[in-house]
Amino acid sequence: MKVRNDLRNIAIIAHVDHGKTTLVDELLKQAGTFQDHEKIDERAMDNNDIEKERGITILAKNTAVNYGDTRINIMDTPGHADFGGEVERIMKMVDGVLLVVDAYEGCMPQTRFVLKKALEQKLKPLVVLNKIDRDMARPEEVVDEVLDLFIELGADDEQLEFPVVYASAINGTASEDPNKQDDNMEVLFNMIIDNVPAPIDNREEPFQFQVTMLDYNEYVGRIGVGRVFRGTIKTGDQAALIKSDGTVKNFRVTKLFGFMGLKRMEIDQAEAGDLIAIAGVEDIMVGDTICPVEHQESLPLLRIDEPTLQMTFLVNNSPFAGREGKYVTSRKIEERLLTQLETDVSLRVDHTDSPDVWTVSGRGELHLSILIENMRREGYELQVSKPEVIIKEIDGVKSEPVERVQIDVPEDYTGNIMESLGERKGELIDMVNKGEGQVRMEFLIPARGLIGYSTEFMAQTKGYGIINHSFDSYKPAHAGQVGGRRQGVLVSMETGKTTPYGMMQLEDRGTLFVEPGTDIYAGMIVGEHNRDNDLTVNITKAKQQTNVRSATKDQTVTMKRPRLLTLEEALEYLNEDEYCEITPESIRLRKKILDKSTREREEKRKKLAKKA
């Protein structure tokens, strides 16, 4: 069988923060991809603002380097399970994977998740133990952990014979010896060329290409990114687009793009094995096949992980609606959600009975919160409900998503963690003492038990704990409520501005979420009650002015610092009867029913209905 020895296609996969994107940076630099005058940012592949701020990769990216006579196409994939849809599609484009594992942390939940995807595709794995320069690095133990994980995930004999390179991506060094480092990454380049299978050279056969990612350019419209599985294509060729439902649309290829470094360059032709982008057809979607008009043959559809979590998105109808946002109407919000569907295959948007309300389903809280954060930065104003897991019926049994949770904590906190996760129907499946007072625990827990848990976890472990989780499977649903918030909230009874005097009167009632001088409205949540019931309060109360001089007038009064919630914390905090109002400038929590007496009547009605 003829192969293209001048080409290798590889994906870099890893758990969050194990150094994939930094490693790609170094490969780009050391292959001489950049000119001397080019200034390169850290984590150059993360080009989205949120990716840069959070240090995570959200969208898969492709790049290429030339090493000697070989071009290496590199796909940088997300490490977070919420973006598993991206990882799964990328596996179709490559012939091997570079599994990056932290030499201290070892295998983590998302290491298992991304490796499972790669092994299912029968790809050749190569292992890079990164951060070998860390004082606490334990390379021999971590290699054993990786081998155990391969065996557990059912790797075949060939996959178990994986080569290992020890590297420090941040220093740009690598070696086959864990105890010393070469001053470059040549050993890694050579390992890729020697071990990753070269693509089959079938350029003489009819053209076949599958779209695995989408891009958009205002000049040429939608662009399909993917791999040429066979044949050759040139700019100007007539081609057929075979949609997932079997319909065929003929079009002319207006532009072809290849990738080199961080640039997308126009090319005249592409051949079997190349990773390219094709422009010329507007309604191209992920999974579609492009082939010659006279030889129509579609590739198997791409299987995408189903959403596990859903939220209600609705037009903002609070008293402050329209004050801060640029796009506030249902038409604008719907257009934005439908635009997101064009590039995000793991997302679902369903209409409801109301034109102002949509059910949006995704792979997890992070997946949905990134969408909401992007919308608010673009000027959208909306409200969302509490996230809920999607219950499926499997063989007539109601089943819910179960997460595999890995927790690293100082051993003093293990009792608290086991108790709190036990209350949330968590099942302890493994517990290992890692030495130096650190314990690693692994649980299986219903996904709804984890909603809102991270804040409680941080409080329980005083910030010393690390929690990671990824989707495991669907299992028969537990009856009744699992997890949820235990505390009630402080709800404003007035519309106005918060006053220091009003806030100080409430300090012993709980934790406040607003600062002095904040605009609030009746029905808005201004803090957490220190009991389990809701309390309606007047936080706009001003101090009575008198002409009598107080003996304590000149004393300085200190107030507790309020707890200002981030978007993720606000979404986790919500209860069923509450909304999160999101604008470009503010994140507010509110009751669905703003009027106090109507809210109390509704609560009484619900209690009576439960008793009946």
Binding site residue list = 17-22, 130-133
DSSP H or E run through 489: strand 489-492
Sequence-ordered alpha helix ranges (H) in 467-590: 500-506, 567-573
Distance (Å, whole) CA 355 – CA 335: 13
Within 13 A of 94's CA, how many CA atoms are on the CB side?
33
Distance (Å, whole) CA 427 – CA 402: 11
The answer to whether 239 and 211 are in contact (CB under 8 A) is no
Distance (Å, whole) CA 254 – CA 269: 12
The single-letter DSSP state of residue 380 is B
Q: Report the Cα 392 to chain-centroid distance in Å.
A: 22
Which residue ranges are tagged as binding site for GTP?
A: 17-22, 130-133
Distance (Å, whole) CA 432 – CA 438: 9
Q: Strand runs (DSSP E) across 177-282, as ranges?
A: 208-217, 221-230, 232-234, 238-242, 248-252, 255-260, 263-267, 269-271, 275-279
Tell me the C-alpha to C-alpha distance, in Å, between residue 336 and each of 264, 342, 361, 371, 602.
26, 10, 15, 10, 34
Tokens of 263: 């640039």
Distance (Å, whole) CA 422 – CA 320: 41
Question: 118: burial class by Cβ within 10 Å (0-12, 13-18, 19+)?
Answer: buried
Question: Closest Cα partner for 489 from 518, 537, 525, 540?
Answer: 525
Distance (Å, whole) CA 316 – CA 85: 30
Please, what is the end-to-end C-alpha distance for the chain in angstroms? 73
Distance (Å, whole) CA 250 – CA 240: 4
| Strand 61-67 to 7-14 pairing | unpaired
Name the CA dihedral angle for 369, 375, 379, 380, rounded to a multiple of 10 degrees: -90
Those residues with Cβ within 8 angstroms of residue 433's Cβ, 6 or more apart along the chain or in another chain:
411, 439
Q: Report the Cα 420 to chain-centroid distance in Å.
A: 25
558 beta partners = none
Distance (Å, whole) CA 373 – CA 392: 28
The answer to whether 64 and 27 are in contact (CB under 8 A) is no
Strand order in the sheet with 238-242: 248-252, 238-242, 289-291, 208-217, 221-230, 275-279, 255-260, 263-267
